[in-house]
Structure 1
Amino acid sequence: MCGIVGLHLRNPDLHPRLGEMLAEMLGEMQDRGADSAGIAVYGNPAWAPPGHGCISLLELEVVPDEVSATLSSALGVTVSAQTIDVTLVASAAVTADELLAAARAAYPHALVAGFGSDLTVLKGVGAPRELTESWGLAAASGWQGVGHTRMATESAVTSSGAHPFAVGPEQCLVHNGSFANHATIRRELRAAGVEFDSENDTEVGARFVAHQLAAGKDVETALKEVCATFDGFYTLLVSNRDSFAVVRDAIACKPAVIAETDDWVAMASEYRALAKLPGVANARIWEPEPEVVYAWTR
């Protein structure tokens, strides 16, 4: 099944509560997939200080102090590093591309879970409620967050296989469903020079969208290309630091609901994940139509 949640805050007064609300939403989706989970949070200064490049790394068996020392020496600036459950999060007063290049040079076997300004991606194996507690998500602030609870069907249950897939700068994608023709599209993207970290079908969708955005297309156009190219059943939520977008396949058999107020826009696989949001009683609530792209810009 899998469960998706997303929250885009319009009211800055709610920014301190982003993590609290996102944790509640993700916990409500635990029944849809409890083997692993992940989140992407935009704008939490404790994880991603303003004006800093930020990276999230998995499968790195090195203590944060060593990472900090190694990357600080390579870049000539102070690099802060911390481990949050199994994800190592690092930041520095350089561009995210510079920090990422240094990390890849020093730790070529590490898996990049996310990178960019203001973005932190955390993943883990286990029940979502337990994971959000281990991450300290309820204390996180920010203006946007995305979460996913996974029931693995296409690949192994690992932290690296958990969503979100964040393969472009400040970008992430979460997915409920399956892509029937992902192997064909993966081959086409590899032929175009795109590299992959896993055999997960969702990574193909994320790489496809990132490839479209890198070519200069906007999010809405990229998601229309997804609808024209991918076969299967899917609900997708795609975000970057300035936008938040949802699309479903032509049959729309995977559940989704969107709610909107003057203070926020939220999306989830089921309404119960939205039920405790402030002001939801007065929200405009609807089920997204098939192959219609719904997008909001910060």
Structure 2
Amino acid sequence: MCGIVGLFLKNKALEPALGDMLSKMLVTMTARGPDSAGVAVYGAGNNDRVKLTLRAEDAGAAAALANELPAALGVPVDVSIRANHIVASLPRDAEAAALQWVKARAGQIQLVSVGTHMEIYKDVGLPEHVVSEFALAGMAGSHGIGHTRMATESAVTINGAHPFSTGEDQCLVHNGSLSNHNSIRRTLVREGMSFATQNDSEVAAGYLTWRMSKGDSLKQSLTSSLEDLDGFFTFVVGTRNGFAVLRDPIACKPAIMAESDDYVAFGSEYRALSVLPAIEKARVFEPEPATVYAWERS
């Protein structure tokens, strides 16, 4: 099962409403994934600073750790807290020290994502709960992706929640199952990558990060995945400049898209798109199997 949504805004005037639109899309996918939910939001950022999204045990622990971080690094850190998630914006030359600080507090805090414009929020529970917990409806941005999970193959824990991020400003949500993810993981580990979970979707995210680190474009990386990743899947991928969609060669999982002058949207079902403004004016279509669809801002 699982539900996926994605929204890329062409019209910058809609950016203040990104979170509200994405929230409504995500909640409509509750029946496809009531166990956990998560979103990646691409908003304001500065290429000279890096954002670390961190997850603590609870809101109290998040507040305590957020107070500790600036003193530990000895540099100015802009910190915001949403429930048990911390977003710390810091000078790029302090990134290595910050990651070491996180590593030293394993068990207290976990790294969710690194980026200049991307923030990721995810938790166990109904999508409506997750949307409310992180005040998603009030977030602004240029694009975002989201996922609602039905835990058919593993326990209902935060480790199974999407999106997964393995590279700066890169993330992935996945509906389906990969049969060769363990062998791909071993290959990527030999290439120097590390993984926080046993989830096959994290491996898919890592594969794309690895391909792009070799110089492949996002479109080239997704095209290569059709040869290297075995299974059935729909991927929606977020990058700093846009997002992309790919279905497996037999299009096993449902998918629908809409494009207008204002936005491009993806949903596992049409009802996720039906909540968008002026959807009746958009071109609605089913993405073809084994075909990369990508939109980016220049």
Structure 1, unaligned runs of 5 or more: none
Give, in whole Å, the separation in 2 of the partners of 1:169 and 1:87.
Answer: 18
CA distance, structure 1, for counterparts of residue 120 and residue 181 of structure 2: 24
Structure 1 position 191 matched with structure 2 position 190: yes
Give the distance between the partners of 1:282 and 1:96, measured in 2 at CA.
47
**In structure 2, do the counterparts of structure 1 residues 90 and 153 end up closer, same or farther at CA, with 3 Å as the change threshold?**
same
For residues 217 and 47 of structure 2, what CA distance do their matches in structure 1 show? Answer: 25
CA-CA distance at 1:19 after TM superposition: 0.4
Mapped partners of 1:290, 1:24: distance in 2:
27
Distance 1:5 1:73, change over 3 A: same
Query: What's the CA shift string for 1:3-38, capped at 9, x where partnerless?
Result: 000001111110000000000000000000100010
- Distance in 2 between the 1:100 and 1:117 partners? 15
Of all paired residues, the percent bearing the same amino acid is 45
Say if 2:63 and 2:81, in contact at 8 Å, map to a contact too: no
Which residue type is aligned with residue 227 of structure 1? L
Q: What's the counterpart of residue 290 of structure 1?
A: 289
Q: Which residue of 1 aligns with 2:53?
A: 56
Instruction: Evaluate the alpha carbon distance shift between residue 79 and residue 63 of structure 1 in structure 2; reply closer, same or farther with a 3 A threshold.
Output: farther
What CA distance in whole angstroms lies between the structure 2 residues aligned with 1:96 and 1:263?
38
CA contact (8 A) 2:226 2:248 kept: yes
Deviation, 1:127, is: 0.2
Deviation at 1:278, TM superposition (A): 1.5
* SS of residue in 2 equivalent to 1:183: helix
Corresponding residue for 1:256?
255
Contact 1:124/1:162 (CA < 8 Å) preserved in 2? yes
Residues 137-286 of structure 1: matches in 2 within 5 Å? 137-286=136-285
Q: SS of the counterpart of 1:7?
A: strand
- Distance (Å, rounded) in 2 between the aligned partners of 1:205 and 1:29: 22
TM-score, structure 2 normalization = 0.92
Structure 2: runs of 5 or more not aligned: none
Q: 1:41, 1:119 within 8 Å by CA — same for their partners in 2?
A: yes
The amino acid across from 2:169 in the alignment is: E
Q: CA deviation at 1:86?
A: 2.9
Q: How does 1:82-161 map to 2 (within 5 A)?
A: 82-94=80-92, 97-98=95-96, 100-109=98-107, 110-161=109-160
1:80 maps to which of 70, 78, 84? 78
Alpha-carbon distance change, 231 to 105 in structure 1, aligned in 2, over 3 angstroms: closer
Distance (whole Å) between structure 2 residues aligned to residue 160 and residue 82 of structure 1: 23
Given that residues 65 and 81 in structure 1 are in contact (C-alpha distance below 8 angstroms), is that contact kept between their aligned partners in structure 2?
Answer: no
Displacement of 1:56 after TM fit? 1.2
Q: Please name the residue that 2:13 is paired with.
A: 13
Contact 1:49 1:91 in 2 (8 A): no
Query: Aligned pair in 2 of structure 1 residues 95, 42: CA closer, same or farther (>3 Å)?
Result: farther
Count of aligned pairs between the two proteins: 295
Asked if 1:22 is matched to 2:22, the reply is yes
Structure 1 residues 119-144: Cα deviation after superposition (integer angstroms, max 9, x where no partner): 11001000001110111111111111
What letter corresponds to residue 23 of structure 2 in structure 1? A
TM-score (norm 1): 0.92
Using the alignment, how far apart are the partners of 1:10 and 1:128 within structure 2?
Answer: 26
